[in-house]
């Protein structure tokens, strides 16, 4: 029986070779009709034998192209037209844009073969790509996804490329960014003109082979700014301590670990141990940075790359240009974001030239413009699966589903937090977390947020109906939300920081029921004005109640205490001493007093005595700082979480040795958790017994590694006891672990072991980061869940764009 049917396919179906796939599938079964891209997806009409159409549909649903992702396939009958032959029609815009844009994808095996084949016309061409790989999100200006709507619009296809582009049986059929040496982008080398060069680079630019010239310059110690997919990298020889120090000095980055790009898997294995799951991740088409355990000895790696760290962030080449460069160098390169200090990554050529002039000796760039800034993603394998630490290139702009609470949910824009900022825009039941913006501490970051939001609004073709933001009145993100909400006439929704963390974790698992939310991090604004960060919540997507928290201690000097962990040690010693000075006279305290100096130490002690300039905090991040400082690891830090990372590294090292992994949830060898139930105020968590025990250990013969192990074990036990306490009261059996502290793989694994052994179901972050990079998604989930009811919008004083741009964030954000 002949039939004709209309098929609409939605999901990631454009720019992934979907139409040629449909074309082949239809021709194989001798079906007539056509396929075309529309802004809402792909539209197909087929005519032929009903059985053949069914087989065609089955094939479509079960074996779509590798990079595609089908959200829905809708089929409806049409009258017969008696058509013959199958064709691909040109794109047509329809009113609503529902097509999903693919993320940028690592070079595919076929393209790599061509790159290495001396007989191929694209041999060693740094910009080759096809429908299975290459740039997407970072070059797309607008939809529909056609070449004229990308930054490849200015490159006219040569006759050979056009033939491939128009041939439905070719891998490059409608490959929008396709190019070859005859018609595509070109590499360009420019010297730094700032006089910053420590390496004489003038001779390199004259070479006919710029990749080889760059490799030579790197081998001689140069710092090279390299234009990639979503921005510029700063590259240098990872085995050359002098180059790495120079890069750090010029970039203004003292100690934060730098990521490395290795030529291939064997060279990764020389640096780090790699599990099968980690290997999958390293070689996946998303090609993120993976945090791996370093091998002893660090052969071939300068210690300056990741000082004091047991882990190393490693990635493999993901563009043909990287493959050529790393192939030529043959050794790992430092490949870090092209920026100074904490500014957003540079991606426009003129801007990069200006901002990186004093940092790079050489610029290896090209003439394919980058439309959207997109940093490398960072991942870690925790409890056997992927945990995103930074979700950006290779993932963005793929959607993350949000649980459906309404039939027609409004579009929500959530603007995230202050540090590791991302935004998130929703359309229907999809949330679209944006790329990494960074810390909102300067004008560049604020503009990156503005630009990112307006680009996403255009690509997704949505006008936000609700704007969600943090409770903190002085965050730049809050000001941005206020201005935007006023401009577009949308209501605002405030979402508490730790509620957003927990909601993010629950929502990504599709959980809408109440959970026990354990949110541990450095800083988040509490409704009581305190600095929260050690929270046990009973929460669903709409509401939360604080069931317990780490008892408040003063945060002496506010922001200063974040940079100077010795202040937190003093605060915890004072609180744990209960009015006695004994702890403050102990050996570990005296060492800190010496480090802080004869002016600052007494000043902070009197601050603590008088309670001035010291907002209360329940932060577990700061508890890590205090213990690390007491253990003599860090009196001061260069970046957030540095002390905590070193404490984890020490525990990890000791845990691997004779001590072995402690029994899950067991008390042996741990410190007292300080968790108890108070008849009047319920579940309490007091850090004092832990602090006293740590001091006792450190005064004796106990090693720092053992103290670190015991501290981690105690925290895991505390979480277990707290969750048991909440389960007794509320009968809840699901625990969501969120907040930056749960990037700590050791703590997370021990906590999960303990909770699961006690019968809890545990949710970990698998789609968005547990740190503040995941806040925007959580804010969006909360705002969507609350969308069906009118809630009063608290009145805040309006602020002007000018005041926001004059750096308010630097003075009074992020936490006090």
> Which spans of this chain sit near Fe ion (rule: CB under 5 A)?
521, 524, 772
Binding partner selected for residue 641 from Fe ion, Zn ion, none, CB under the kind-specific 5 to 8 Å limit: none
C-beta of 318 vs 742, nearer to Fe ion: 742
Q: Which is nearer to Fe ion, 524 or 705 (CB)?
A: 524
**Residue 381 binding result from Zn ion, Fe ion, none, given CB thresholds of 5 to 8 Å by partner type:** none
Is residue 258 involved in binding Zn ion (CB under 5 A)? Answer: no
Only one residue has tokens 């929008």, namely 176
Quick one: 180 or 424, whose CB is closer to Zn ion? 180
- Identify the residue among 12, 60, 73, 161 touching Zn ion (CB under 5 A): 161
Residue 111 interface partner, choices Fe ion, Zn ion, none, CB cut-off 5-8 Å depending on type: Zn ion
Size of the site for Zn ion (CB under 5 A): 10
Dihedral-angle region of residue 48 (phi above 0 means left; psi in -120 to 50 means alpha; beta otherwise)? left
Query: x/- site string to Zn ion, residues 58 to 97, per CB under 5 A?
Result: ----------------------------------------
Calculate the alpha carbon distances from 574 to 554, 578, 625, 700 in Å.
10, 7, 15, 21
Task: Give the contacts of 763 (CB within 8 A, at least 6 positions apart).
Answer: 505, 506, 509, 511, 515, 734, 735, 736, 737
Minimum CB separation from Zn ion for residue 110, in Å? 5
772 binds, among Zn ion, Fe ion, none (CB under 5 to 8 A by kind): Fe ion
Q: Which residues, 100 to 159, sit near Zn ion by CB under 5 A?
A: 108, 111, 130, 132-133, 158
Quick one: what does residue 357 bind among Zn ion, Fe ion, none, with the CB cut-off 5 to 8 Å set by partner type? none
Nearest to 231 by CA among 444, 431, 17: 444
When binding is defined by CB under 5 A, the residue of 16, 60, 100, 180 that contacts Zn ion is: 180
Q: Let me know: does 301 contact 271? Beta carbons within 8 Å.
A: yes
Q: Which does residue 443 touch among Fe ion, Zn ion, none (CB within 5 to 8 A, set by kind)?
A: none
Residue number, 318 or 566, with CB nearest to Zn ion = 318
Which of 121, 805 has the CB closer to Zn ion? 121
Instruction: State the Cα torsion 63-64-68-69 to the nearest 10°.
Output: -60
Instruction: Kindly tell me which residue out of 50, 66, 80, 182 binds Zn ion, with binding defined by CB under 5 A.
Output: 182
> Which has the closest alpha carbon to 243: 294, 197, 312?
197
From residue 512, give the alpha-carbon distance in Å to each of 265, 400, 403, 405.
Answer: 41, 15, 7, 9
Closer residue to Fe ion (CB): 185 or 522 = 522
Burial of 303 (0-12, 13-18, 19+ CB in 10 A): exposed
| 784 contact, one of Fe ion, Zn ion, none, CB 5-8 Å limit per kind | none
- In whole angstroms, the minimum distance from the beta carbon of 528 to Fe ion comes to 17
Considering the complex, what minimum distance in angstroms separates the CB of residue 416 from Fe ion?
A: 10
Residue 130 near which of Fe ion, Zn ion, none (CB within 5-8 Å, type-dependent): Zn ion
Residue 419 near residue 740, CB atoms below 8 Å = no
Asked whether the beta carbons of 281 and 386 are under 8 A apart, the reply is yes
Sequence-ordered strand ranges (E) for 163-242: 187-191, 224-227, 232-237
Query: Which is nearer to Fe ion, 441 or 772 (by Cβ)?
Result: 772
Q: If you search the block for the tokens 């809840």, which residue do you land on?
A: 732
Q: Which two tokens stand for residue 550?
A: 């780490």
Separation of alpha carbons 134 and 146, rounded Å? 15
Coil vs helix vs strand at 569: helix
Output the six-digit token pair for 692. Answer: 């006293």
Cβ contact 629:560 at 8 Å: no
Question: Which residue has the closest beta carbon to Fe ion?
Answer: 521
Taking a C-beta distance cutoff of 8 angstroms, is the pair 295, 273 a contact? Answer: yes
| Nearest to Zn ion of 13, 569 (CB atom) | 13
- The answer to whether the beta carbons of residues 35 and 140 sit under 8 Å apart is no
- Find the shortest distance in angstroms from Cβ 816 to Fe ion: 15
> Among residues 183 and 653, whose Cβ is nearest to Zn ion?
183
Binding site for Zn ion (CB under 5 A): 108, 111, 130, 132-133, 158, 161, 180, 182-183
């Amino acid at each position: 029986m002949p039939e004709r049917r209309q098929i609409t396919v939605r999901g990631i179906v454009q720019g992934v070779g979907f139409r040629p796939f449909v074309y082949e599938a239809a021709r194989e079964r001798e079906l007539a009709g056509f396929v075309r891209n529309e802004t809402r997806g792909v539209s197909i009409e087929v005519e032929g034998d009903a059985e053949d159409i069914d087989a065609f549909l089955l094939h479509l649903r079960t074996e779509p192209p590798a990079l595609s992702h089908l959200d829905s396939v809708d089929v409806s009958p049409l009258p017969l037209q008696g058509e013959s032959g199958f064709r691909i029609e040109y794109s047509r815009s329809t009113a609503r844009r529902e097509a999903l844009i693919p993320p940028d994808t690592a070079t595919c095996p076929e393209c790599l073969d061509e790159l290495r084949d001396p007989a191929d016309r694209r041999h060693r061409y740094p910009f080759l790509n096809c429908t299975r790989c290459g740039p997407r999100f970072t070059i797309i200006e607008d939809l529909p996804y056609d070449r004229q709507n990308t930054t490849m619009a200015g490159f006219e296809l040569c006759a050979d490329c056009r033939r491939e582009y128009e041939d439905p049986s070719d891998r490059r059929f409608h490959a929008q960014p396709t190019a070859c040496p005859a018609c595509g982008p070109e590499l360009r080398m420019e010297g730094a003109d700032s006089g910053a060069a420590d390496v004489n680079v003038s001779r390199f630019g004259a070479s006919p082979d710029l990749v080889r010239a760059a490799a030579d310059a790197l081998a001689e110690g140069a710092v090279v700014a390299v234009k990639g997919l979503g921005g510029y990298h700063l590259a240098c020889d990872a085995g050359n301590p002098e180059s790495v120090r120079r890069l750090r000095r010029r970039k203004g980055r003292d100690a934060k670990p730098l990521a490395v790009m290795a030529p291939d898997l064997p060279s990764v294995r020389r640096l780090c141990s790699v599990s099968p799951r980690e290997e999958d991740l390293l070689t996946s088409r998303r090609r993120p940075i993976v945090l791996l355990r370093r091998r002893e000895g660090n052969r071939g790696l300068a210690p300056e790359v990741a000082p004091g760290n047991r882990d190393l962030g490693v990635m493999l080449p993901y563009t043909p240009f990287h493959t050529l460069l790393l192939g030529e160098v043959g050794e790992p390169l430092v490949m870090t974001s092209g920026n100074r200090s904490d500014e957003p990554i540079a991606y426009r050529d003129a801007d990069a030239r200006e901002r990186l002039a004093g940092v790079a000796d050489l610029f290896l760039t090209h003439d394919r413009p980058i439309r959207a800034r997109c940093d490398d993603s960072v991942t870690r394998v925790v409890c056997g699966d992927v945990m995103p630490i930074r979700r950006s290139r290779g993932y963005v702009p793929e959607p993350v589903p949000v649980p459906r609470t309404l039939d027609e949910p409004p579009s929500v824009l959530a603007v995230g937090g202050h540090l590791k900022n991302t935004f998130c825009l929703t359309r229907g039941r999809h949330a679209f977390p944006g790329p990494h913006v960074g810390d909102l501490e300067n004008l560049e970051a604020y503009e990156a947020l503005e630009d990112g939001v307006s680009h996403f609004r255009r690509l997704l073709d949505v006008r936000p109906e609700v704007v969600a933001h943090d409770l903190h009145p002085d965050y730049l993100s809050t000001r941005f939300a206020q201005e935007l909400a006023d401009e577009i006439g949308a209501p605002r929704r405030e979402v508490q920081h730790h509620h957003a963390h927990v909601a993010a974790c629950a929502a990504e698992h599709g959980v809408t029921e109440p959970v026990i939310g354990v949110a541990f991090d450095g800083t988040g604004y509490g409704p009581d004005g305190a600095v929260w960060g050690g929270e046990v919540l009973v929460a669903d997507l709409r509401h939360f109640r604080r069931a317990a928290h780490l008892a408040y201690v003063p945060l002496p000097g506010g922001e200063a205490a974040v940079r100077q962990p010795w202040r937190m040690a003093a605060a915890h010693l004072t609180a744990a001493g209960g009015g006695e000075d004994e702890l403050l006279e102990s050996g570990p305290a005296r060492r800190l007093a010496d480090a802080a100096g004869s002016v600052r130490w007494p000043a902070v002690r009197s601050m603590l005595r008088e309670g001035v300039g010291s907002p209360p905090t329940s932060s577990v991040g700061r508890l890590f700082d205090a213990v690390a400082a007491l253990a003599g690891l860090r009196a001061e830090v260069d970046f957030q979480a540095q002390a905590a990372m070193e404490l984890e590294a020490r525990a990890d090292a000791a845990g691997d040795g004779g001590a072995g992994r402690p029994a899950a949830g067991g008390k042996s060898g741990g410190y007292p958790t300080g968790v108890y139930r108070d008849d009047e105020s319920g579940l309490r968590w007091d850090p004092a017994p832990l602090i006293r025990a740590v001091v006792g250990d450190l005064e004796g013969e106990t090693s720092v590694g053992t103290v670190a192990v015991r501290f981690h074990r105690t925290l895991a036990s505390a979480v277990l006891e707290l969750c048991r306490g909440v389960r007794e009261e509320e009968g809840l059996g699901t625990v969501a672990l969120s907040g930056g502290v749960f990037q700590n793989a050791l703590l997370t694994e021990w906590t999960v072991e303990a909770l699961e052994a006690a019968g809890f179901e545990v949710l970990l972050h698998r789609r968005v980061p547990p740190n503040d990079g995941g806040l925007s998604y959580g804010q969006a989930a909360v705002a969507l869940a609350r969308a069906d009811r009118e809630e009063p919008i608290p009145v805040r004083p309006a602020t002007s764009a000018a005041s926001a741009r004059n750096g308010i964030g630097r003075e009074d954000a992020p936490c006090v």
